């Protein structure tokens, strides 16, 4: 297997994809299929699921000669530590030899003679791996919003409580966070200020989520200018960062909190 990312923007994105993975899991299986790279994992509390999908066309070179998928079990913190040593003008080269299946080779190379090539060997892990079948369903409300703007709101709401209540209606979205000792914060989002918004006619929905987990998801806001959020009653929130195309994306699912009232 030989996978190359020469585009500097995509190389930065690929690095960022693993920067905050430890907030969900320390160990992860990256699946290199014939025509795409895929990752799926769940956090230790089993309330969120992370999915990455990058088609082979997203990479500058994608050589996959195996007859089946290649699972790369790896420590996510170590992977980011390596990727983070890359210089701006260096390409990323990932190599895996089935005859030496206990390691992944990562190289950073460049035509710039002022930069020194770097080579790493990362030991691989034999991880149990079973894909979760996440059912698709029609959402009750969905909207697209600038990633940095939503991340800032979530970080501010977290200063006033552990839970956010998201109330969607036909004309606005309200996000509330409160605690007995810290007071209450509300954010009113007019739908005219959103990139896109859709909700079932006459629908008013109120769903609660963990702000700590939402903060982890929003930590990736730099990978995409906008984020797409889909909400369905009694189902997990779906958050998608698109990475240049419909097929290249990072998807997060977050289970709602049970309203004890």
Q: What is the pLDDT of residues 108-121, one digit of tens each?
A: 999 999 999 999 99
Q: Give the model's pLDDT for residue 159.
A: 95
Task: Among 123, 152, 178, identify where a domain stops.
Answer: 123
Q: Give the model's pLDDT for residue 83.
A: 98
- The answer as to whether 135 is a domain residue is no
**pLDDT by residue (tens digit) across 96-144?**
998 888 999 999 999 999 999 999 999 999 998 778 888 777 899 999 9
Q: Is the same domain home to 145 and 239?
A: yes
**115 contacts: CB under 8 Å, gap ≥ 6:** 87, 89, 90
Q: Give the model's pLDDT for residue 62.
A: 98
Q: Is the same domain home to 112 and 183?
A: no
Phi, psi of 247 (to 5 degrees): -85, -25
Q: Give the model's pLDDT for residue 166.
A: 98
Say which residue the tokens 């909190």 belong to. 257
User: Which of these, 67, 36, 65, 32, lies nearest to 53 by C-alpha position?
Assistant: 36
Structural domain count of the chain: 2
Question: How high does pLDDT run on average in the chain?
Answer: 94
- The answer as to whether 134 is a domain residue is no
Q: Is the same domain home to 8 and 114?
A: yes
Say which residue the tokens 């769903």 belong to. 207
pLDDT band at 259 (very low <50, low <70, confident <90, very high): low
* The two three-digit tokens of residue 114, written as one number: 């002022």
Q: Is the same domain home to 158 and 95?
A: no
- The answer as to whether 199 is a domain residue is yes
Q: Is the same domain home to 146 and 229?
A: yes
The 3-class secondary structure across the chain, one letter per residue, is CEEEECCHHHHHHHHHCCCCHHHCCCEEEEEECCCEEEEEEECCCCCEEEEEEEEHHHCCEEECCCCCCEEEEEEHHHHHHHHCCCCCCCEEEEECCHHHCCEEEEEEECCCCCCCCEEEEEECCCCCCCCCCCCCCCCCEEEEEEHHHHHHHHHHHHCCCCEEEEEECCCEEEEEEEECCCEEEEEEEEHHHCCEEEECCCCCEEEEEEHHHHHHHHCCHHHCCEEEEEECCCCCEEEEEECCCCCCEEEEEECCCCCCC
Q: Is the same domain home to 8 and 116?
A: yes
Query: Does the pLDDT of residue 33 top 70, yes or no?
Result: yes
CATH number, domain with residue 166: 3.70.10.10
Q: Is the same domain home to 211 and 149?
A: yes
Q: Is the same domain home to 83 and 145?
A: no
């Amino acid at each position: 297997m030989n996978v190359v990312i020469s585009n500097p923007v995509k190389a930065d994105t690929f690095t960022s994809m693993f920067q905050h993975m430890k907030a969900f899991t320390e160990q992860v299986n990256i699946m290199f299929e014939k025509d795409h790279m895929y990752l799926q994992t769940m956090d230790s509390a089993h309330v969120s699921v992370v999915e990455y999908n990058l088609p082979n066309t997203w990479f500058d070179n994608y050589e996959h000669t195996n007859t089946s998928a290649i699972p790369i079990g790896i420590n996510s913190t170590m992977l980011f530590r390596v990727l983070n040593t890359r210089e701006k003008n260096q390409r990323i080269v990932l190599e895996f030899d089935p005859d030496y299946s206990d390691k992944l080779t990562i190289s950073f190379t460049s035509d710039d003679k002022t930069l020194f090539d770097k080579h790493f060997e990362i030991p691989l892990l034999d991880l149990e791996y079973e894909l979760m079948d996440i059912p698709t369903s029609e959402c009750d409300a969905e909207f697209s919003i600038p990633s940095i703007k939503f991340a800032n709101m979530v970080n501010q709401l977290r200063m006033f409580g552990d839970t956010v209540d998201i109330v969607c209606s036909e004309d606005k979205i309200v996000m509330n966070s409160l605690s007995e000792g810290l007071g209450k914060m509300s954010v009113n989002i007019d739908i005219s200020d959103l990139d896109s918004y859709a909700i079932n006619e006459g629908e008013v929905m109120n769903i609660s989520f963990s702000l700590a987990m939402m903060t982890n998801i929003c930590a990736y806001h730099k990978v995409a200018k906008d984020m797409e959020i889909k909400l369905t009653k009694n189902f997990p929130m779906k958050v998608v960062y698109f990475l240049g195309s419909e097929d290249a994306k990072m998807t997060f699912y977050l289970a709602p909190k049970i309203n004890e009232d």
